[in-house]
Amino acid sequence: MKMHGLGNDFVVIDTRNQAFASTNLLGETLADRRFGIGYDQLVLIEDSKVAYAKLVFFNADGSKSATCGNATRCVGRYFLDQENTTGLNLETERGLLECLDAGNGLCSVNMGFPFLDWNNIPLAEGMETLELPLEGRPCAVGMGNPHCVFFGPENENSDIEVLGPKMENHPLFPERTNVEVVCFMPKRDEIRVRVWERGVGITKASGSGACAAAVATIRRQHTSNRVKVKLDGGYLDIHWKGDGVWMTGPTSQVYTGVFSKEFQEMVIGP
């Protein structure tokens, strides 16, 4: 299936009833928007003993990710509709994520508690994460994947094209990092965020990135604990509550397809 959340797009493959080899060549070819389908993340659905299903995530460059908020919300919405239910849990490397029907075609996912300690994000050495000792004094947040959040001027222009590739491979982040630039909007509890995803580049949106940006602005007391996040592809509602960081937004299933025999033989073998 091809899905997207605010233009943050995914190829989703259900492996529960069929064998599937997630070779690097398949990921690299499938991710190519000319020779394959194209995606920001590849999502494999697997059987789970503790949840409705298990999700495994890969970035466009083939690297693995413990979580992907928009993809979880998309697949969660699909399962909610399929089972005609209002809630279910999905297993990820990040942990069990609860998905709820939020009405009007929206889906909410509890992304869990943010990691705020340097060793859990992780960073390469011990330090205060609210303001890192780097130019721009960014904030580090872990949402199952690492994030480096910068604060820009009060407009919608940002230096994500420069900061993204510069910070993704910074030695302070042993697992690389996602990068967000936050710009403040006229309304106090609304922010503008642009995202650079590790292993992908600039994306239209990022669920975990929106969560990390909201957590950073809340920690710095710029907003209340509920934040409206404007991304390149649209809006997400982020609410840091007592049981975790809840993300709510729209999803879209673009199509369902079948790999041709020629494509399968090319990337997997006969």
Instruction: Give the pLDDT of residue 214.
Output: 98
Whether the domain at 2-110+251-267 and the domain at 139-242 fall into the same CATH topology: yes
Distances (CA, A) of 263 to 60, 89, 108, 156, 270: 18, 33, 35, 41, 10
> What is the band of 19 on the pLDDT scale with cuts at 50, 70, 90?
confident
> What is the band of 165 on the pLDDT scale with cuts at 50, 70, 90?
very high
Instruction: Give the pLDDT of residue 179.
Output: 97
pTM for this predicted structure: 0.93
> What is the band of 268 on the pLDDT scale with cuts at 50, 70, 90?
low
- The predicted-structure confidence for 45-91, as pLDDT tens digits, reads as follows 999 999 999 999 999 988 889 999 999 999 999 999 999 999 999 99
For the chain, domain boundaries: 2-110+251-267, 139-242
Instruction: Give the pLDDT of residue 269.
Output: 63
Q: What is the rounded average pLDDT of the residues 122-151?
A: 97
Instruction: Give the pLDDT of residue 26.
Output: 67
Q: What is the rounded average pLDDT of the residues 161-181?
A: 96
Q: State how far the Cα of 241 lies from the Cα of 185, in Å rounded to an integer.
A: 22
CATH architecture of 2-110+251-267: Roll (3.10)
- The predicted-structure confidence for 245-261, as pLDDT tens digits, reads as follows 999 999 999 999 998 88
Q: What is the rounded average pLDDT of the residues 181-192?
A: 93
Instruction: Give the pLDDT of residue 259.
Output: 86
Computed over every residue of the chain, the mean pLDDT equals 93
Q: Which amino acid is at 58?
A: F
CATH assignment of 139-242? 3.10.310.10
